[in-house]
Amino acid sequence: MAVLRSRSWLLCFLVAHVTEAATGSRQRVKLTGHRDRVWEVPVRSGRTSSPQVSAGPEPGDPAAAFTVPTLDGEFSFQPGSPRGSVVIHAFTNKSGFLEGLWSSEASLSSLVRDLPNRTQVVFLSLDDSAVSDALWMRDQLTRAAMHSKKEVLSRLHFSPVPVFALGNWIPSVLYYWSCLGRNCGLSQAAFTSEGWKLPVIVKRLDARYDWLMARWGQRSYQLVDGGSGCDPSPSVAGGVAWVSEGNCSFFTKVQAMAKSNASGVLVYALPGNPIQDMNCIEDECNSPLGVPAAMVHLEPVVAQALRFGQKVNVSFQNTPSPNFFIGIDPQGALAEMGWFLYPTFSFVNWQAQWFDFYADLQTKLQSPAKVVPVFDKVQMQGEKGAVATVDLPSGLLDVDTLELDASLSCPGRRDSSCAQWDHTVQLFVCCDHMSPYCNVELGRWITAFRRGIGRWVTDVTPLLPLLDSSKCTFTMKTVPWAMPWIVSLNLRFSGSNQTGNQVEKLRPFRVMSLYSGGTFDKNYNKRYQPIKFPVPASTKKVELFAVITGHGSDENGCGEFCVTSHHFLVNSAFNNSRVFDSAGTALGCTTRVKEGAVPNEHGTWLYGRGGWCDGLQVDPWRTDITTQLDLSGSESNVVVYFGLFEGRDPNPSQEPGYIIMSSFLVFYK
């Protein structure tokens, strides 16, 4: 069969070849193949090579063995041998982003300080200068490791052989996985002036994405000398201001030039200085600036032309390049490294942390459990979402743990096929259409913006009583306008004896629904009335179970980026509180990568949020409230919920945010 298929492939190829040849047009043929990609295959007369030659391995495919010569011997990778992850990084000094990555002390020290201890990194150069690049990279990192642990240096490998001369599969994968996204490819500024035969093209590094949102247009701008750029200057109006590094902060320059009506700002590094990541500091970050800005090197021809009053134009372009990174996970599979939002090796550390998380998860999934498949790579999209009716095994009586093993992948194998945005995903279950508990929420996740690697195991044991039936229908949905995700979901039922702990665990036998969320405005807390409840006979433990997330954006960033707190006041005395205190912090969600938050997504996945992170399950909040209750069975217990913004009732003056909440009392015996 395989032979036949490849012959028909070859036939298509030949037909395309002949047609193209007959019309006498271009020397390249477009072949629409596999999935949604279009391959450009070079056509050479007299050759009948298969088009599959151009297709390299995809993320998820096993990495083949390779050896790379290094400054002190060689680095060798063998599939199947026990190991951690490997990160392959190809440097070129034609990229302003890579120059910044390798020059910033913060970036270098993050690598030597925080690289997970099971990860090896292989450093390569794409250029003829590979020998000096390798020596320079080793010097940079050795210097950075001077004041921290040196052990890491034994896991960093520097190759003096340029990528094109490696003679293994690495070059073809770097080129096949080429990239054009943020900080990938070669971002450049192109200067033209009358009297120059050719444009002068230099590398550039755009200002931090989450500081300056404005983008360069597809047009030519006039370049205007703006001095140091620290003071407004009417002469730059309408042009791109050419300003020197130093004398004031990047923020001050961009703000002064924006006030002078410049269309953009190019800051050139002082001679001998590297290109840096232009960012704001502290309060500066609260002032929005509406112009794009980038950093470049001082280009003498440009500076001279401006000095002599010649007109200089500048435009902005991105020249495609091979990828700068390939990952190999601890299972030996090739992996993409995701989006580097700004030039720091922290993004390597985060991806490597995730590799370790995922390897540990694989081990955890080997532990004994009764696994009930619900979705196996099913597309979730639109109003309907993904729906499945499943027979549950009988005899779950000795089960005392229920976990959701969920994953979200993409229609194609590359992250570029993944859906945009961080949307809420909810799983609803209905086991009895007559029950008030039909279609309650069993689990919640947030999608990973443009990354298809998320897999999470969430303990939802308290909701076991909802599955007290032989047949249940599960519905998993996100917003109907989202691009499709491919979902997989297994229910994992397990018993207490696997914990190794002899104490018999209690089992939840009943749940009672409490409150849901709503619009987070000044009336938010007026909606919640106290609920009276008895504790059923033979109850040994009562737990509060709540899944709470904040969304939307009022003038305080509520509920996504503001600190909200959620309180369940029991019997007027016990204030059970949950505070989302990392909401709005710059790196709040990076600390959750070790727990499975998908790193290196598009957008601002790094910021802390109101009870959630991009690309992560929402952890249920569980609190034992047994001692707060009267267990005698009378209707004497009372609970009430309220939600606050910085300790007060919310009172937004613009478009309020909202809280999504499901909450229960859970009774165990």
Ligand X SMILES: *[C@@H]1O[C@H](CO)[C@@H](O)[C@H](O)[C@H]1NC(C)=O
Q: Which residues lie near ligand X (CB under 6 A)?
A: 93, 99, 117, 133, 136, 192-194, 220, 228, 232, 234, 237, 246-247, 260-261, 297, 311, 313, 368, 495, 497, 565, 567, 569, 575, 577, 644, 647
Cβ proximity to ligand X: between 189 and 511 the closer is: 189
CB of 178 to ligand X, least distance (A): 22
Cα–Cα distance, 279 to 282 (Å, whole number): 10
Cα–Cα distance, 406 to 408 (Å, whole number): 7
Cα–Cα distance, 386 to 382 (Å, whole number): 9
CB of 350 to ligand X, least distance (A): 14
CB of 660 to ligand X, least distance (A): 21
Cβ proximity to ligand X: between 94 and 413 the closer is: 94
Question: Token pair of 409, please?
Answer: 């992948």
* Rounded to 5°, angle at Cα 502 from 500 and 504: 115
CB of 424 to ligand X, least distance (A): 26
Cβ proximity to ligand X: between 577 and 653 the closer is: 577
CB of 480 to ligand X, least distance (A): 37
Spell 191-211 as b/e; 16+ CB within 10 A means b: bbbeeeeebbbbbbbbbbbbb
CB of 92 to ligand X, least distance (A): 9
CB of 497 to ligand X, least distance (A): 4
DSSP one-letter code for 275? P
Instruction: Please report, in angstroms and rounded to a whole number, the separation of the first and last CA atoms in the chain.
Output: 59
Cβ neighbours around 604 below 10 Å, total: 16
Cβ proximity to ligand X: between 192 and 636 the closer is: 192
Cβ proximity to ligand X: between 241 and 380 the closer is: 241
Question: Token pair of 289, please?
Answer: 């600036």
CB of 667 to ligand X, least distance (A): 24
- DSSP readout, 211-258? T------SS-EEEEE-TTSSS--GGGTTSEEEEES-SS-HHHHHHHHH
Contact 570, 665 (CB under 8 A): no
- DSSP readout, 341-406? SSS-THHHHHHHHHHHHHHHHHHHTTS--EEEEEEEEEEE-TTT-EEEEEEPPS--TTEEEEEEEE
CB of 177 to ligand X, least distance (A): 24
Comparing C-alpha atoms, which of 408, 421, 426 is closest to residue 517? 426
Cα–Cα distance, 182 to 97 (Å, whole number): 10
Q: Which residues contact 49 (CB under 8 A, 6 or more apart)?
A: none
CB of 98 to ligand X, least distance (A): 9
Cβ proximity to ligand X: between 27 and 117 the closer is: 117
Cβ proximity to ligand X: between 392 and 440 the closer is: 392
CB of 248 to ligand X, least distance (A): 9
DSSP one-letter code for 497? G
Contact 108, 91 (CB under 8 A): no
Q: Which residue has the tokens 């980026």?
A: 561
Cβ proximity to ligand X: between 133 and 521 the closer is: 133
CB of 637 to ligand X, least distance (A): 16
For residue 545, give the H/E element and its range: strand 541-551
CB of 617 to ligand X, least distance (A): 21
CB of 253 to ligand X, least distance (A): 12
Contact 329, 84 (CB under 8 A): no
β pairing state of 86-91 and 325-328: antiparallel
Cβ proximity to ligand X: between 20 and 127 the closer is: 127
Cβ proximity to ligand X: between 241 and 482 the closer is: 241
Q: Which residue has the tokens 């601002």?
A: 604
Longest dimension (CA), the chain: 94
Cβ proximity to ligand X: between 473 and 651 the closer is: 651
Cβ proximity to ligand X: between 27 and 577 the closer is: 577
State the number of CA atoms in the 13 A half-sphere of 102 facing the CB.
Answer: 23
Cα–Cα distance, 85 to 351 (Å, whole number): 10
Cβ proximity to ligand X: between 73 and 290 the closer is: 290
CB of 346 to ligand X, least distance (A): 16
Spell 407-439 as b/e; 16+ CB within 10 A means b: bbbbbbbbbbbbbebbbbbbbbbbbeeeeebee
Cβ proximity to ligand X: between 235 and 439 the closer is: 235
Cβ proximity to ligand X: between 99 and 560 the closer is: 99
